[in-house]
Amino acid sequence: MKKKISIMLATLMISTMGLSGCGKKAPETGTTGGDVIKIGVFEPMTGANAAGGALEIEGIKLANKLYPEVLGKKVELVLVDNKSDKVEAANAASRLVEKEKVTAIIGSWGSSLSMAAGDIVKKAQIPTMGTSCTNPLVTLGNEYYFRVCFIDPFQGTVMANYAFNTLKAKKVAIVQEVSNDYAIGLAKYFTDSFKKLTGDPNCIVAVTNYNTGDQDFTAQLTNLKAKNPDVIFAPGNFTESALVIRQARQLGIKTPFIGGDTWETPEFITTGKEAVEGATFSTFFATEKPITKESEVFLTAYRKEYNGKEPAAVAALGYDAYIILLDAIKRVGSADSVKLRDELAKTKDFQGAAGVINFDENRNAVKSAVIKQVKDGKFTFKEVIEPVK
Amino acid sequence: MSLDTFLQHLTNGISLGSLYALIAIGYTMVYGILRLINFAHGDIFMMATYFAFYGVTTFMLPWYFSFLIAIILTGALGILIERTAYRPLRGAPKISIMISAIGASFLLENVAIVMFGGRPKPFPTPEIFDKMVQIGNISVQRLTFVIPVVTFVLLYLLLYLINHTKSGMAMRAVSKDYETAGLMGIDVNKTISFTFGIGSMLASVGALLWALKFPSLLPLMGVMPGLKCFIAAVIGGIGNVKGAVIGGFILGIGEIMLVAFFQDLSGYRDAFAFVMLIVILLLKPTGIMGEKISEKV
Amino acid sequence: MKKRNIILTIISMLILIVVLFFIDKNLDSYNTRILNLCAIYVILALSMNLVNGFTGLFSLGHAGFMAVGAYTTALLTMSPDMKAQNFFLAPIIKPLANLTLPFFPALIIAGLVSAFVGYLIATPVLRLKGDYLAIATLGFSEIIRVVFTNTQTLTNGALGLKGIPDTTNIWWTFGMAAVTVIIITSLINSSYGRALKAIREDEIAAESMGINLFKHKVLAFTIGAFFAGIGGGLLGNLLGTIDPLMFRFILTFNILLIIVLGGMGSITGSIIAAFIVTIAGEALRFLDETMNLGFITIQGIPGLRMVVFSALLMLVVIFFRHGLMGTKEFSFDKIINKFSRKPSEKGGDQ
């Protein structure tokens, strides 16, 4: 019996390979014929990063609803899940490029996932618009990868400036999520900028690490308390950061905490409760201070679509990724991927919902950052920081 | 390091250690009876917290009631897992039952991801536990006093159960030799289920205290504590309840002290538990309080 | 081997080479990628099966060896420019900065480094039995991952490596897979292999027969680590980018699923199961997405795919303990005899 099963399965396997072999090698560039232009969306819909992915998809879908057509053709979104896993991300991107034959791709939340798709989109010459992936490596050396957000070096500098200028800090301690590329990137750039600003090589009094998924930070925080910093910089995902700040307050540490854009989620406040009052961070977008006219369009539409819910910054980025692609397609006049890439690179002063976008020589968006603070249990806007031109 | 800082570290260590101890007891009980590492223990731990969470938020029950229901439900879940994943494999080679344990663990985690979603949920912490108490320069949460007390009370009750009751005697008999125990008229199935139930309930108490201390619930939150508590049980001597408590404290305090004294190694904190495991398995494989089990042909 | 079998084997090899040619020329990159993954998983499954299935050691440390292999290959094959670009937070340690090797030597070195790490781990850990061994190997795998996350100057820490030359193609993967199959099959059919199987069946009896338990266990473990390292290296060069988070326990779990499904003592089983699980992983995407059955639309439940896989593992281990092939292997003899109605010449298990 077992042998029969195995022979059947072996035949099945060979026939699957044979059937899939019937798919000939397709033309490389994505020129979709007919009345539909396909835009691939490759985000984590399951797995560890599903939350971030879901928010971005909200923004992208909203943009598609508001602007469903370009050049008289309907724009169809093809969503593929990269499952928050690198291997799957490569498969997902490959699928979009080969099977779905998309003209362009939007994605992804999570720089490591975006990097997995890098080579594939480069070889297939499909321009890809990153949404919130801030690791500089994503666009480095890859002419087909763009992003609508600024990168870690900029964000680190922004927070260093805030700590030095606004908070008048001379000594900073860093608590970083060492297994998170975003966190260590931010920490390094913050350190470099802060050292330059203070002129004091010992201004970072302590650097302590924790891993993703850790829940107990009391040991690390107790050490920090002894060093008496003016400000604590804690880049890391909101899950851990909320607990870090909470435990810090429980240990009697009254120092202000600053961090990065990953803090801007509802769970940061519901988990951190009173402890996170006053926590300040940099992010891409503020609902109270619409930066452009498109911001207002986005906000109104979002609130209507999602029943009064306030949009997360990454949703605005997803929205921008979509409309900037559409704008470039309009300028090119066709869905030719290679021409689209060149046109995208020429984008100047694009009015996105999350700010005015210009691409630098590495296809990263040069735009302003927004500082937000937790006040009375809500994220409130503090100020806008312009990029150094 | 100033005395204040050191005392604060010590307090943190005791707090963490007593949590590990409580969960390790559940592990060691099951191992004592079945000679099986219940990989799913950490996930039963996780489910307990979610039960309590939904009890408070969706069903609007007062916290003590919700906790009680969570404990009972978790005990039932433990028994269910034993029946479905372990009982059918009782006569099979060891490796099958271990794989089944891993499968059960993964199944629970993924079902949790599907049912509860991957976003962290804030655990409701009643005021009574949350308040901070100041002793000199050290800040201690009220909860920090509750945890060791609960651990020792439960330990005492458990030891009483094992050594002075008939069910306890049945458990000891089954752990020595389950075939003979069956021949002596002990209902082996019932005893094993009972053990799993008690072990899971202990895990759930530990889980609720853990969630009170670290109020962020995630489907994978039980993985690391599960592994670490197993290591704690091994350090103390697997199969020995008192040993599990000792192991828990050693691991908890050790972990904190590692970060306290070697700031640069704070990223290696998790690795510390595994290094301790290797060390103890090499130096004294039966653990601190364990007895030598000779393998018969 | 009988002359007829040798000829049949050579013919199958030639058919395989022709099929590979066809795939290389005609198949689109999506399907090629899937097939590459299948072959890599074959190597990984075989390496794990050698330790878990044939020697009966419950080792859960495979992800760690893969990580060592992947990082070694990556660091040895990346160009100095790529390395400078990647290590922007902290420069890579001096000896590695300018070292670049061609793919094959890098792969072999990766395997050797993994084997060495395996040997170091084996020595303390293989005195343990059953559950303890499982947790200890799992622990080491985690330690390796934590170390890689923290050693910024060696592995670029959490940032991972990007721009690894994608030298892995269908020839490399299937070629290495074939080599692995041949080596492991010869090992299993040799006196070493019989010793390993004896250890699996009953350690005490094997020891009393004069088999040096420790030496054989370490051998199996080290060879398993060698091939795991090679598999990891191929994977790294297929994806072009790696980071420590790829090598968590779930990777070991996937390979465990494959060998349980295929039958823990069967090489053929592992090969078949590797293909099935990898292809199913892609084909079952629909479980996570919305299914439009024409008359009703079943809303996609994200994460359902993993639930199905975990449940599958449990079902297989409880009801079909021997997996697909048990301990049986594919052999030309059996197939021909099936069709010729002659009594089989060899008796007993192959």
A191 to chain C: closest CA residue: C89
C51 part of a folded domain: yes
* Domain end among A283, A312, A334: A283
The amino acid at residue B138 is I
Q: Which of C149, C304, C314 comes nearest B100 by C-beta? A: C314
Yes or no, beta carbons of C160 and A115 under 8 Å apart = yes
Nearest-Cα distance to chain A for B264, in Å, is 7
Q: Which of B104, B114, B268 comes nearest C314 by C-beta? A: B104
B233 to chain C: closest CA residue: C132
What tens digit of pLDDT does each residue of B94-116 get? 788 888 888 999 899 988 888 88
pLDDT interval class at A27 (50, 70, 90) = very low
Yes or no, beta carbons of A3 and C334 under 8 Å apart = yes
Same domain, A105 and A53: yes
DSSP lists the bridge partners of residue A73 as A70
d(CA A305, CA A168): 42
Yes or no, beta carbons of B1 and A215 under 8 Å apart = no
Same domain, A78 and A177: no
A265 torsion bin: left (phi>0), alpha (psi -120 to 50), beta (else)? beta
C260 part of a folded domain: yes
Judge whether C39 and C177 are in contact, CB under 8 Å.
Answer: yes
C288 part of a folded domain: no
- Count how many domains chain A has: 2
* Domain end among A265, A283, A301: A283
Residues in chain C: 350
Judge whether A321 and A305 are in contact, CB under 8 Å.
Answer: no
What tens digit of pLDDT does each residue of A191-245 get? 998 998 888 888 888 888 888 888 888 888 888 888 889 999 999 888 889 999 9
Nearest-Cα distance to chain B for A228, in Å, is 12
Nearest-Cα distance to chain B for C304, in Å, is 7
What tens digit of pLDDT does each residue of A87-124 get? 888 888 888 888 888 889 998 888 888 988 888 898 88
Same domain, A332 and A353: yes
The secondary structure of B156-193, three-state, reads HHHHHHHHHCHHHHHHHHHHHCHHHHHHCCCCHHHHHH
Q: What is the CATH number of the domain that holds A301?
A: 3.40.50.2300
- Count how many domains chain C has: 1
How many alpha carbons lie under 13 Å from residue C124 in its C-beta half-sphere?
17
The DSSP secondary structure of B198-250, one letter per residue, reads HHHHHHHHHHHHHHHHS-EE-TTTTHHHHHHHHHHHHHH-TT-HHHHHHHHHH
Q: Which of A51, A209, A219 comes nearest B118 by C-beta? A: A51
Yes or no, beta carbons of A213 and B9 under 8 Å apart = no
| Average pLDDT rounded to a whole number, residues A138-158 | 88
pTM above 0.80, yes or no: yes
Nearest-Cα distance to chain B for C314, in Å, is 5
State yes or no: pLDDT of C203 exceeds 70.
yes
Same domain, A146 and A180: no
DSSP lists the bridge partners of residue A370 as A283, A384
**Chain C residues touching residue A98 (CB < 8 angstroms):** 28-31
Rg of the Cα trace of chain B?
Answer: 19
State yes or no: pLDDT of A363 exceeds 60.
yes
Structural domain including C103 reads: 3-283+320-340
pLDDT interval class at B44 (50, 70, 90) = very high
Same domain, A208 and A305: no
Same domain, A165 and A271: yes
Best residue in B3, B7, B8 to probe A by mutation, most A CBs within 10 Å?
A: B8
Query: A34, exposed or middle or buried, with CB in 10 Å at 0-12, 13-18, 19+?
Result: exposed
| Average pLDDT rounded to a whole number, residues A155-174 | 89
Same domain, A256 and A338: no
Could you list the beta-strand ranges (E) of chain C: 161-162, 241-242, 291-292, 297-298
What value does the mean pLDDT of chain B take?
85
Chains touching A, CB cut-off 8 Å, 3+ pairs? B, C
**Chain C residues touching residue A10 (CB < 8 angstroms):** 272
Structural tokens at position A56: 């971005």
What tens digit of pLDDT does each residue of B210-249 get? 998 888 888 888 888 888 998 898 898 887 888 889 999 9
A377 part of a folded domain: no
Same domain, A356 and A276: no
Say whether residue B10 is in contact with chain C using an 8 A CB cutoff.
no
Q: In this predicted structure, what is the pLDDT of residue A30?
A: 42
Yes or no, beta carbons of B215 and A271 under 8 Å apart = yes
Share of chain A above pLDDT 90, in %: 10
d(CA A315, CA A301): 12
Same domain, A219 and A340: no
Of B60, B215, B50, B70, the C-alpha closest to B117 is B50
Structural tokens at position A321: 């990724």
Judge whether A97 and A29 are in contact, CB under 8 Å.
Answer: no
Best residue in C62, C260, C307 to probe B by mutation, most B CBs within 10 Å?
A: C307
pLDDT interval class at C51 (50, 70, 90) = very high
**Chain C residues touching residue B271 (CB < 8 angstroms):** 142-143, 146-147
* Domain end among A238, A259, A283: A283
C36 part of a folded domain: yes
Query: B201, exposed or middle or buried, with CB in 10 Å at 0-12, 13-18, 19+?
Result: buried
Yes or no, beta carbons of A6 and C269 under 8 Å apart = yes
Whole-complex ipTM: 0.83
DSSP lists the bridge partners of residue A355 as A352
| Average pLDDT rounded to a whole number, residues B268-295 | 78
Neighbours of C207 (CB within 10 A): 14
Say whether residue B250 is in contact with chain A using an 8 A CB cutoff.
no
Residues 6+ apart with CB under 8 A from A324: A129, A148, A344, A347, A350, A352, A357
Yes or no, beta carbons of A250 and B218 under 8 Å apart = no
Judge whether B177 and B11 are in contact, CB under 8 Å.
Answer: no
Answer whether the bond into residue B15 is a cis peptide, omega within 30°: no
Same domain, A277 and A306: no
Same domain, A174 and A140: no
A26 part of a folded domain: no
Residues 6+ apart with CB under 8 A from C345: C333, C337
> For C22, which DSSP code?
H
Q: In this predicted structure, what is the pLDDT of residue C300?
A: 60
Q: In this predicted structure, what is the pLDDT of residue C234?
A: 92
Structural domain including A119 reads: 36-150+290-367
**Chain B residues touching residue A208 (CB < 8 angstroms):** 259, 263, 266
A283 torsion bin: left (phi>0), alpha (psi -120 to 50), beta (else)? beta
CA A139 to chain centre: 13
d(CA A232, CA A247): 13
Judge whether C5 and C333 are in contact, CB under 8 Å.
Answer: yes
CA C126 to chain centre: 21
Same domain, A158 and A278: yes
Share of chain B above pLDDT 70, in %: 97
B221 to chain A: closest CA residue: A213
A77 part of a folded domain: yes
Q: What is the largest CA-CA distance in chain C?
A: 70
C130: helix, strand or coil: helix
Yes or no, beta carbons of C307 and B230 under 8 Å apart = no
Q: Which of C34, C88, C305 comes nearest A136 by C-beta? A: C88
